Structure 1
């Protein structure tokens, strides 16, 4: 693309080196670069905090884009729009003229648009002999198209941070509930321990949680709360083991003084309450697990309960995910994926590329968990050629996960087996879209 002459501002607005650099940056558009203007505008809205623009400035940008005649932004068709202030104000929901000028200045300062002023400061076009646009004066959308990749990356990072923050808030809520109820149970059962100090520390940590929580502010608090919870659980489990050993040794000498033979023995610990309905010999997934060898001789002894997180699916090592789904690496920041945050950022980019709606992906992240949803998107990308509708496929897996019919492990193992099969030599390629559904439902 040939460099155009510098456009200095009309009237009293001064010229600066920053304005010159922004003009040249807007001209640096790679050949063949195109973007759907409304999808790019949505990315700008998602990246608003990183671009330092106001919501009213976005309203003006929306109005400017509506004056561009094509849906695809392309430098080959020209990127200058030339509406009058009156027409621009109407499409900006009746924004006042003074406010309109301020928000246009915000967009220029943010490097999303640039001014191309005419000799008299008016906005107009001059047509050539063929009837096309020979010269246009107004606002250029070239900086917006030139920064399309950067804007999409910022939007993906913010979306990944938002999902991670949502997950950390959920973990924080569960951790607060666990600590409060475990301490209350320990005090009620008279378990030895410095529970007053633990409660005081717990309340101090709660005071450190800001109302507008961020990843940086909530992460250290969550780490300390999880450490406290782990210490409480270890104390209660050690006390439970002592009671179990004591019960086993004195079981033959036990005497019952209660006149009701159906009641629980007085020597049984407090964990027996509410467990009579859970005597299954095998542990139930996502609910509770009994430690082997903890039942009494008559099957009614005390049992140590280990609770698991029933809200989210089991996660797998990041290395295993990348080995099964190597294609997702190209969409990570800088073409690499070093941690789960990078994988979630890449999943947001892949989601948009495959046409999966934001609502479908957010629902999947809410049901499965952010890490599992990102892993599922990596699996869908890996076999995208065999899946007709990525959005419908993801919604189907989300519904299966809600009804506990979805397992991530078989899906990853199916991809690993397929990868190993094709690396060993040519073979018949299966319909992996169907195979993944069947594997995930096992």
Structure 2
């Protein structure tokens, strides 16, 4: 028998709300688990346009649903009043109402309104829903495969973007080293790299173009090496330059900053990315002395910020952030590796992230970013991008106490669990 869902007459109905209502009436529903769907919806939150307080409300609703309702003929209906949700999220009831509407319009839940407007669930002796009114998450079950595919595509695109960014940086460094070794070709290679950067519509195209140019550089270096070997044949007094070739052929980390800036325009957001810890002011122009001084300061700031922040504290304090990005913060490399995903989660621009890394160091900036994401997921802050910049400024001023923030988050999480257990 097809399930029917009712939408109260006082609601302003939109096509998205009607679409969710139709999905809630489906009978052929795939089985899933509460933990699987919760994690999947959190990963899909950026795709679905769910963030801030809406994310917090969704997290509460998913937590209140019963695990058995996500299987078989069950209907994951959650009955909780707007007043109680407002109390949990520390927001007004009007804000909660708007958040519920966004969740329904995102196509993962549907309104199931009672004639009186109250929300309640009656269960039979087997624990199945006999009748219920509230928020029905059946649409999330119906769209399980679609949402899973969307998340996989999103993560695949994100990884491709990260790989392309790293490739751009790697090839550009090798080309810069070659410009230093072969000054007769420096102008040609710099101009070619500049044209690739200016003409490439995306990172993937830039990486492909720089890779082709890098191949030409390798061919030229190989040819010069062979000519040199032939010219010195039989002359034992000539010193071999074989040690210089591997530096050209490899992706060396040594590079001249002034030459790199000739290839990479500092004010172009799509340009080849410079090593973050060595570029504290990405758009400040060619100021070598200022860059060196800023790097020295960034190391000192990073040491001060992380002096009282062990990785275990970050892991305990940022549970929601780890779950959201599907990464356990077991090592600092895990935190740094998840930075790109966390940056996108809070809507922080790439320029602001590069600037923050340059000012306080990569590890400190990643720890700050994880803390900001955690507070954003808990709906503690309204503007995470501005909050990240403010924390970076406080780190530079020496007034940032990141350990206290993380201890507070860890303690708050424990208190929340105790409160839910008592209920």
Q: If the length of structure 1 is used for normalisation, what is the TM-score?
A: 0.52
1:221 aligns with 2:215: no
SS in 2 for 1:271: coil
Asked if the contact 1:10/1:121 (under 8 Å) is kept, the reply is no
Q: State the distance in 2 between where 1:126 and 1:155 align.
A: 34
Please point out which of 130, 133, 140 is paired with 1:144: 140
1:10 aligns with 2:9: yes
Paired residue for 1:37?
34
Q: State the distance in 2 between where 1:225 and 1:136 align.
A: 60
Q: State the distance in 1 between where 2:127 and 2:172 align.
A: 69
The residue correspondences of 1:19-418 to structure 2 (distance < 5 A) are 19-30=17-28, 33-70=30-67, 73-74=70-71, 76-91=73-88, 93-125=89-121, 133-187=129-183, 192-193=184-185, 195-206=186-197, 217-248=202-233, 251=234, 254=235, 265=237, 267-268=238-239, 270-272=241-243, 307=249, 358-359=326-327
* Ranges in structure 1 where 5+ consecutive residues have no aligned partner: 210-215, 256-264, 276-287, 289-304, 312-356, 370-442
Let me know the Cα RMSD of the aligned residues. 3.7
Q: If the length of structure 2 is used for normalisation, what is the TM-score?
A: 0.54
How many residue pairs are counted as aligned between the two chains?
263
After TM superposition, give the deviation of residue 156 of structure 1 in Å.
1.7
After superposition, give the CA deviation of every residue in 1:277-325 in whole Å (9 maximum; x if it has no partner).
Answer: xxxxxxxxxxx6xxxxxxxxxxxxxxxx9956899xxxxxxxxxxxxxx
After TM superposition, give the deviation of residue 233 of structure 1 in Å.
1.5
Q: State the distance in 2 between where 1:307 and 1:166 align.
A: 23
Q: State the distance in 2 between where 1:228 and 1:130 align.
A: 69
Q: Which has the higher contact order (CA 8 A, sep 6+)?
A: 2
After TM superposition, give the deviation of residue 142 of structure 1 in Å.
0.6
**Whose helix proportion is higher, 1 or 2?**
2
Q: State the distance in 2 between where 1:132 and 1:227 align.
A: 62
After superposition, give the CA deviation of every residue in 1:35-84 in whole Å (9 maximum; x if it has no partner).
Answer: 22232122122222322323432211111112223366135333221111
170 and 17 in structure 1: CA distance in 2 versus 1, 3 angstrom threshold: closer
Q: State the distance in 1 between where 2:150 and 2:7 align.
A: 30
166 and 17 in structure 1: CA distance in 2 versus 1, 3 angstrom threshold: closer
Q: Which structure would you say has the larger Rg?
A: 1
Q: State the distance in 2 between where 1:15 and 1:359 align.
A: 39
Asked if the contact 2:16/2:105 (under 8 Å) is kept, the reply is no
